[in-house]
Structure 1
Amino acid sequence: MMRSLPLIALAATLTSGMALAQATAPVVAIAEPDAARLASARQLLDQIMPPATREGMIQSMLTPMQANMRHGLEQSEGLQKALRRDPKAKAAFDRFLDKQEARTSAVLRESLPGMIEAMARAYARRFDVAQLDDIKRFFATPTGQAYMKTSFSIMADPDIAAWQRKLMSRAMTQMQDDIAAMAKDIEATQQDKK
């Protein structure tokens, strides 16, 4: 049991991280956005994230992020040791990551309409109609069009990929230390029961 504890903890951490961790902010009354602002914000979102291409845009951002996370995890020294101890563990770990990546993509696809509406409402609270019109005009310019076409693929940039891998490697090192401390704590409580 104790040998598998690090993998169980890792699985729990990955599940929460890769499945789009949700904030647990307290529920507060939120002012309803002005109807004209909301209509304008919805038009803006339709312009910058056309409904026909939304899923592809989101997936083009998510795919490199997931690949970078996977690579960073696979470079973790502690995980490599654990996987080398049991040759079947690598296949199980790969299946786990595949499942989490597929689940994350499915959750994003299913949640996309709600995300777009939430974004429209957020824009409507922060910008008035004139400001939203200015933003729409920018996105109608050649520079705005170029930004829209490439902004979601920014996550695939080599510098961002390297940063994500480094971040994941650092997080894995810290998590391994935390898992080791937790394992010691659990062992101590089990020794106390004897």
Structure 2
Amino acid sequence: MIRVALAAALALTPVAAGAQAPAPARAPAPASAVAVEPARLAAATRLLDTLFPPASRTQMMDGMMTPMMANLRQGFTQNPQFAEMAKDLKVKAAFDRFMDAQLHRSMDLVRTSLPGMFDAMAHAYARRFDVAQMTDIERFFHTPTGQAYMQASMTIFSDPDVAAFQREMMVDAMTRTQADTAAFVKEVAAIQQDKK
């Protein structure tokens, strides 16, 4: 049961969910997507280069993901059923290997997906903001306050309140998943029994 809960809980995180299968460098745009004006796309690209300087994008993403994955790991260990199982040192070692592998896979996926992700984001910004608006936003991020915001926003997932909330959410998600999985297994067993 805990294996199902682990898999389901990992699927709750955007990073881990993406780690399950490789993502294309750039997914094709839906047919209904509005074409982007070149001037808006150029402004969006400049804005993203300000928000996420290309030379430090990988480090910025690592800085967000590492504490998020640490919070995920701690959330698992706070689950009473898992905590009981983890008293077995072999189980704990297997869990540590599993979590380390998930972290590395997620980090690798994010790193290889950065160009496609930022291309998609540039198109999204260009559809939502005009050139003047993006110029205003970019101007703000060149101010001391904008610079301070950019630096601080990269550390949000390591904040104690955010970390505590993520851990509580993970424990709750695992508890719900276990209950839902048990109910589902019972329902399927009843259906199979009725066929006999």
Q: TM-score range by the shorter chain?
A: 0.7 to 0.9
In 1, the alpha carbon distance for the partners of 2:159 and 2:150 equals 16
1:35 aligned residue = 38
1:160 aligned residue = 162
1:3 aligned residue = none
Tell me the matched-pair count. 185
Q: 68, 71, 74: which one pairs with 2:74?
A: 71
The TM-score, its normalising length taken from structure 1, stands at 0.85
Once the two structures are superposed, residues 18-67 of structure 1 have per-residue CA deviations (whole angstroms, 9 ceiling, x without a partner) of 55436xxxx55211211100001000111111001001111111111110
How large is the Cα RMSD of the aligned pairs? Answer: 2.3
Q: Percent identity?
A: 50
> What runs of 5+ residues in structure 2 fail to find an aligned partner?
19-29
Q: 135, 138, 151: which one pairs with 2:137?
A: 135
The TM-score, its normalising length taken from structure 2, stands at 0.84
In 1, the alpha carbon distance for the partners of 2:96 and 2:154 equals 26
Q: Is the 8 A contact 2:44 2:125 kept in 1?
A: yes
1:12 aligned residue = 7
1:61 matched to 2:64? The reply is: yes
Q: Is the 8 A contact 1:78 1:176 kept in 2?
A: no
* 1:31 partner amino acid: V
Q: CA deviation at 1:177?
A: 1.1
In 2, the alpha carbon distance for the partners of 1:92 and 1:110 equals 27
Report the CA distance shift for 1:165/1:15 in structure 2 as closer, same or farther (over 3 A). Answer: closer
Q: CA deviation at 1:193?
A: 7.7
Q: Secondary structure at the match of 1:21?
A: helix
Stretches of 4+ aligned residues off by more than 6 angstroms? none
In 1, the alpha carbon distance for the partners of 2:183 and 2:135 equals 55
In 1, the alpha carbon distance for the partners of 2:142 and 2:3 equals 49
1:100 aligned residue = 102
Q: Which moved more, 1:90-99 or 1:110-119?
A: 90-99
